[in-house]
Structure 1
Amino acid sequence: MIRLAFSVHKSSFYRIAIASLACSIPLASHAQQPLKTLLVGVDHRTVTSLNGDWHYLVDQPPARGLYTLEGKVRDNGYGLNTHPNISSGPHNEEYDFATAPTMKIPGDWNTQDPTLFRYEGVVWFQRDFDFQPKPGTRTFLHIGAANYKSFVWVNQKRICDHEGGFTPFDCEVTAALKPGSNFVVIAVDSTRHIDDIPGIGIDWFNYGGLHRDVSLVTVPTQFIDDYDVHLRHDTTFSPAAADTLTGYVHVEGAPAGTAVTVRVSEAGVDTTAKTDANGRAAFEVKASHLSLWSPETPKLYKVQLSSGQDSLTDDIGFRDIRVDGTRILLNGKSVFLQGANMHAEAPYRTGRVNNDEDVKNIFGFLKDLNANFVRLCHYPHDERMERMADREGVMIWSEIPIWQRISYDKPEVYAKAVNMLNEMIRRDRNKASVILWSVSNETPNNPTRTKFLTDLANEARRLDATRPITSALIGPHPKGNQMVQDDPLTNALDVIGQNEYIGWYEGRPEDADTMTWTFPQKPVLFSEFGAEAKFGVHGGKNERWAEEQQVNVYEHQFVMINKIPQVRGLIPWVLMDFRSPVRNIPKLQDGFNRKGLISEDGKQKQAFLLFQKTYKDRSVGKAE
């Protein structure tokens, strides 16, 4: 099979996140600072970019620069950014960022320094920057993502820590900054542990580092840190009545009664609401006219939010997504999802996706495929992906990195999962393209795991009641020509994701022709299926690693899928070959999972052409 936080917030939203981090990161008891607000819409604010060249030093295991022998974080180590005295005086810790090499941020260290290609551990990053504090403002260091644990110092002060490799975090640096020259030091630890999310045994490359944008964000003392603007999600949907926007704006530091304005000029919306005691201003307002977002017409509106001295403008589309029996309805109409899975692996250069060119290349592949959907597996991707999907009309499945076996029996691990879910939904709830939240992929079927994921699905619904919840299931194994999906986790899902690999991991391709599936009466997406093929390897239709055999597997899968009435989407594994350290067949894999429809350098396999035609003709699956 494909095996492939931060705020003392006024609302309850982040209290769980704080508890999660307190449980899961080793902290120096005397030095940990309060965790800070997670900002939404940073890519639509004016920021000071800290992207570029950062000095780096490798802290080889046991990482004595970061951890004490007891596993606590040191505050008298590299974070102080001292320099060795070459003439006299006491030693420092025998390091020096000033003379250290540099690498590009954002970026993973694995593809930038050949000596670190397979390195998993601690790397320190340091950068000098100039800054002029402004009275009546607060400044945050915004990190788009860093894998996996991060520890941040500014001007020798420990500011914040974060656990999780794929979601953003913000560290308030207002009190630490000074006029003129400043510096930031960030230690990133990519070491895998059994109680992390994901855990140890992943089937994708564990890229480490500051792999998304880093910036300084300066806001007024009272500022908008979170908001939700969406089409009202009524019990039933009527296109004629789809004219009401609702949601909230949260203003950090605002007393009750603070005015908040929401404007969508093109839709005739201009309304004012007042914050409650928690700084949250709820609103509901009718629009004079709305064009609903869809793949055919991906309409986005300029949504202006303001309160006091703070304001920002976001680009938001409005649409309704829901489940009706075994159908998925977009704006009241049945929709069939024609897509592919995609890891956050950069085409051509490999490494983590982290810039506009990477995203443009990926969406070029999707458009050539005639896709209307992409599953961003197995973790939240760079926010550029959702932004591009909003503009291009591509629907998204977004999931947190609960992949196969984690410690489902440990409350602290559940707290981490809740925190990651909060961060994913908080960042992307205003993206019209995101139509499904996924809580996991290929998890073992047992009562402990089922309760863990059921609770997590319900938490997702509490955070966002407007989107269906899914998970990619693995199993059952066939009994003769019968497959019965009776995993109890299906009870917690609105949409069932089904991974299966008949013709590759089990059985022959033609076994799919007579396979009969039984599912609960819910929409089903074939969330993974396929076979490996090395681009340019040709042979018979049953010859392993040949492009012809990959096509043969898919053609038999299509026969099977067309006989399952509630299938509402095809998501082959995978759009593009991606690095995986467990794929070690020389000359065929060479460290890559080869199930891609295209190679890592953008060459289309025969299977790509098969799906391209299938999606154009809409010859597999039905929306109704």
Structure 2
Amino acid sequence: MKRASYIIVLLLLSMPGFAQTFIQNISSRSVLSLNGRWNYIIDPYENGYYDYRREAFDQSKSGKGGYYDDKKQDDKSELIEYDFDHSPTLNVPGDWSSQVEKLELYEGTVWYRNKFTFEPKAGKRYFLYFGAVNYESHVYLNGKKLGMHKGGFTPFQFDVTSELKKGENSVVVKADNTRKKEEVPTINTDWWNYGGITRDVFIAETPESFISDYKIQLAKGSLTQIDGFVQLSAPGAGQTVKVSIPEAGIEKTVKTDASGRAQLNVSLPAGKIIFWSPETPKLYTVSVQAATDKITDRIGFRSVITRGKDILLNGKSVFLRGISIHDENPLIPGRARSEGDLKMLLSWAKELNCNFVRLAHYPHNEKMLKLADEMGLLVWAEVPVYWTIEWDNPDTYRNAESQLNTLITRDKNRASVIIWSVGNETPLSDSRYKFMSSLISHVRATDNTRLVGAALEVHRVGTEVVVDDSLGEKLDVTSFNEYGAWYWGGTPKELSKYHFNIKYDKPVIITEFGGDALAGFHGDEDTRWTEEYQEALYKAQLRMLSTVDGLRGMTPWILADFKSPRRPHPVYQNFFNRKGLYSDTGVKKKAFYVLKKFYDEKENQYKGSHVNTGK
């Protein structure tokens, strides 16, 4: 990028309405946490944002008049119809739906306010960071609008260097979780629409010129070469960047081009690298240093490619023993809030003998990916292009691509991530094909070191289950959802008559199958909602799926019961999707042991006979 173009981009990004360029590994900086109790005001009519003629206060000449002013009376005659100081509080991070009973089903605007004391340092820059706010957020600091962001699961930040005051500061967030057909996800989803500031908030400190982005990974298909880049915040050719991995004896100095970007190519010393895998999740301390900045990261090195119907991890064929997971702790209602919540979910997956998790159906907490790196779990990472999106709407596409780009930018150095998914259960049409094909092309242009997937749908012709989606030609794996013996196919004992017709000569991953069971409800295997029915379903599904040529993995639906407004049955569901192998109280259902036994057998099978040197 030429210097003039770079400056124009920076100017655009500094305007209200634009979140700042994403900073890689921002949590590793010196940070001031703003987590804690925030005052809130419920605003279903958006009185704090619009005047009575429905004109936005922050678009007026004065820019004043909204709740974001956080105003107090200057004299006793002044009319002010809100008061953050005397308003109740919510935990941040945390959704409002699970914290306040009257907000459980609320969809609309809630204003958050937090006061904090700060003392900016000369020669430093400061960024206000949000891990996630669902769904549309408008952010103000000391009464000035910093910008807005759309997307309930992607992080964003703003440069607040010039807005921070010495002493007391006030940050106000307008959070709106209203579902809209043109958004991503769209109106109809099968998970709870938790509103609010659901992930960490902090202020990060950087030097004036800093390391803004980097990618340090093995080159595609290689076990001998690291490829990547380092991007500095300031453009300018000839800036020196040093990358070192002391434990591996690697140190490399490179120079930036005019845009401040330095390309990185390093040959690995023979025998010095332990490759990351679920069995040996080795992470190396990687240091990146520029003239005025130095950061460290913990990075694992591994290769993932497909060859025929095999998925090769570090040159060896692997079977992905997986499970799907929602970003929800069933034991404490609401979104997962802490590292403890996330570690519990991944530990449950490890108890099942998983080496793979599908983080559905949206970007999960960044901490989840770092934990997966540490715990040795491969990851399918997904964006919420879910069910029926407005395929012909250019703004909807830009939104989807932006969320996908943020996901890749944030997690591209995580060894655990082996598949970027562009969506789930999207219906066939020409406009959908164009939309999702463009997302696939974007993934490949952004990061060619992972596989690309999508959870496709199947259709049935008699007893033949057909996988013939034209999008499959563009994917690296044939991945699809099927709900035999639950939504079709009769009872579990009737599944044996079905067989698959898969049009693509690629590795097969079954991204969803399963059925509901209310934990503790028992009966015979023909009785819906019983643990015995779910147990029989899993046994029948695993027999049926074992006949699929090229089966190389699965992520059944789902690890644990989770809340969904689409599940109202008062006896068996009570607004929970009950397909979990763990109940909402953390109890293992009978099907858990069926799948674990299958995974134990697969682990032993692949230890001995499915080895490929990759040469």
* TM-score in terms of structure 2 length: 0.93
CA deviation after TM superposition for structure 1 residue 384, in Å = 1.2
Structure 1 pair 355–56 and aligned structure 2 pair: CA distance change class (3 A): same
Q: 1:362 aligns with which of 345, 351, 366?
A: 345
Write out per-residue CA displacement over residues 241-275 of structure 1, whole angstroms, 9 at most, x where no aligned residue: x2322200111024221111111001111111111
Cα separation, 2, equivalents of 1:525 and 1:573: 13
2:406 aligns to what SS in structure 1? Answer: helix
Q: Which runs of 4+ in 1 moved over 3 A?
A: 8-12, 67-75, 619-624
Do the aligned residues in 2 keep the contact of 1:500 with 1:528 (CA within 8 Å)? yes
2:46 is paired with a residue of what secondary structure?
A: coil
RMSD: 2.2
Q: Which residue of structure 2 lines up, in the alignment, with residue 457 of structure 1?
A: 440
Q: 1:261 to 1:552 in 2, by over 3 A?
A: same
> Residues 17 and 149 of structure 2 are in contact (CA less than 8 Å); yes or no, is this contact kept in structure 1?
no
Supply the distance in 2 between the matched residues of 1:173 and 1:493 (Cα, whole angstroms): 41
Give the 5 Å matches for 1:131-530.
131-234=118-221, 237=222, 242-288=223-269, 289-476=272-459, 478-508=460-490, 509-519=492-502, 520-530=504-514
Aligned-pair CA distance for 1:374: 0.5
Q: Cα–Cα, structure 1 residues 416 and 73, in superposed 2: closer, same or farther, change >3 Å? A: farther
The 1:72–1:461 alpha-carbon spacing in structure 2 relative to 1, beyond 3 Å, is: farther
Q: Contact 1:583–1:590 (CA<8 Å) still a contact in 2?
A: yes
The CA distance in 1 between the partners of 2:234 and 2:48, in whole Å, is: 37
Deviation for aligned residue 1:582: 1.1
Superposed CA deviations along residues 202-222 of structure 1, whole A, max 9, x for unmatched, are 110000111000000011111
CA distance in 2, matches of 1:11, 1:593: 49
* TM-score normalised according to structure 1 size: 0.92
For residues 193 and 462 of structure 2, what CA distance do their matches in structure 1 show? 38
Which residue identity lines up with residue 211 of structure 2 in the other structure?
A: I
Q: Distance in 1 between matches of 2:439 and 2:494?
A: 36
1:531 to 500, 505, 515: 515
Counterpart of 1:610, as a letter, is V
Q: Deviations over 1:584-623 (max 9, x none)?
A: 0002100100000011111000011111221112289976
**Partner Cα separation in structure 2 for residue 139 and residue 462 of structure 1:** 31
Report how far residue 517 of structure 1 moved.
1.0
User: Is 1:91–2:79 an aligned residue pair?
Assistant: yes
Matched letter for residue 113 of structure 1 = V
Provide the rounded CA distance (Å) in 2 between the counterparts of 1:517 and 1:470: 19
Shift of 1:11: 8.5
Distance, in Å, in 2 between the alignment partners of 1:97 and 1:70 is: 23
Alpha carbons of 1:209 and 1:385: their partners in 2 closer, same or farther (altered >3 Å)? Answer: same
1:363 Cα offset (Å): 1.6
Q: What secondary structure sits across from 2:402 in the alignment? A: helix
Tell me whether 479-488 or 443-452 shows the greater mean CA deviation.
479-488
* Structure 1 residue 607 corresponds to structure 2 residue 591: yes
Structure 2 Cα separation of the partners of residues 480 and 320 of structure 1: 41
TM superposition shift of 1:367: 1.3
- Aligned twin of 1:5: none
Quote the offset at 1:232 in angstroms. 1.9
CA distance in structure 1 between the partners assigned to 2:296 and 2:33 by the alignment: 19
Query: What is the one-letter code of the residue matched to 2:572?
Result: L
Aligned ranges for residues 53-92 of structure 1 at < 5 Å? 53-60=37-44, 62-68=45-51, 69-70=53-54, 72=56, 74=58, 75-76=63-64, 77-84=66-73, 87-88=76-77, 90-92=78-80
CA contact (8 A) 1:529 1:573 kept: yes
The Cα of 1:180 is off from its aligned counterpart by 1.2
- The verdict on how the C-alpha distance between 1:479 and 1:511 changes in structure 2, with shifts beyond 3 A counting, is farther
Are the counterparts in 2 of residues 109 and 117 from structure 1 also a CA contact under 8 Å?
yes
Other structure's SS at 1:553 match? helix
Instruction: Tell me by how many angstroms 1:70 deviates.
Output: 4.4
One-letter amino acid matched to 2:205: T
Give the secondary-structure state (helix, strand or coil) at the position aligned to 2:212: strand
Report the Cα offset of residue 278 of structure 1: 1.4
- Worse-superposed segment, 392-401 or 73-82: 73-82
**Per-residue Cα deviation, 1:448-491 (whole angstroms, up to 9, x for no partner):** 10111011101001000010100001121x21221221111101
* CA displacement, residues 332-378 of structure 1 (integer Å, 9 cap, x when unaligned): 11100011100001130021112111012112211110110100000
Give the drift of 1:287.
3.0
Equivalences, count: 596
Checking the alignment, whether the CA contact within 8 Å between 1:138 and 1:220 is kept in structure 2 is: yes
Q: Is the partner of 2:133 in helix, strand or coil?
A: coil
Contact between 1:223 and 1:251, CA under 8 Å: does it hold in 2? yes
Partner of 1:549: 533
State the Cα distance separating 1:165 from its structure 2 match: 0.6
Structure 1 SS opposite 2:211: strand
Query: Which structure 2 residue ranges, 5 or more long, are not aligned?
Result: none
Partner of 2:190, secondary structure, is: coil
- Which amino acid in structure 2 is aligned with residue 284 of structure 1? N
CA distance in 2, matches of 1:149, 1:620: 47
Is contact 1:614-1:620 (8 Å) kept? no
When structure 1 is superposed on structure 2, of 511-520 and 377-386 the one drifting more is 511-520
Cα distance in 1, alignment partners of residues 493 and 263 from structure 2: 56
Partner residue of 1:43 out of 23, 27, 39: 27
Task: For residues 82-120 of structure 1, give each alpha carbon's deviation from its aligned partner in whole angstroms, at most 9, with x where no partner exists.
Answer: 0246722x323x111111111111110111111111111
1:562 aligns with 2:546: yes
- Residue deviations 1:526-563, cap 9 Å, x none? 10001100000000001000000001111111111111
Aligned mates of 1:365, 1:11 — CA distance in 2: 49
Is the 2:18–2:148 Cα contact (8 Å) retained in structure 1?
no
Are residues 557 and 619 of structure 1, via their aligned partners in 2, closer, same or farther at CA, if it must alter by over 3 Å?
farther
| Cα separation, 2, equivalents of 1:489 and 1:153 | 42
On the 8 A contact 1:399/1:440 being kept in 2, the answer is yes
Give, in whole Å, the separation in 1 of the partners of 2:157 and 2:4.
16
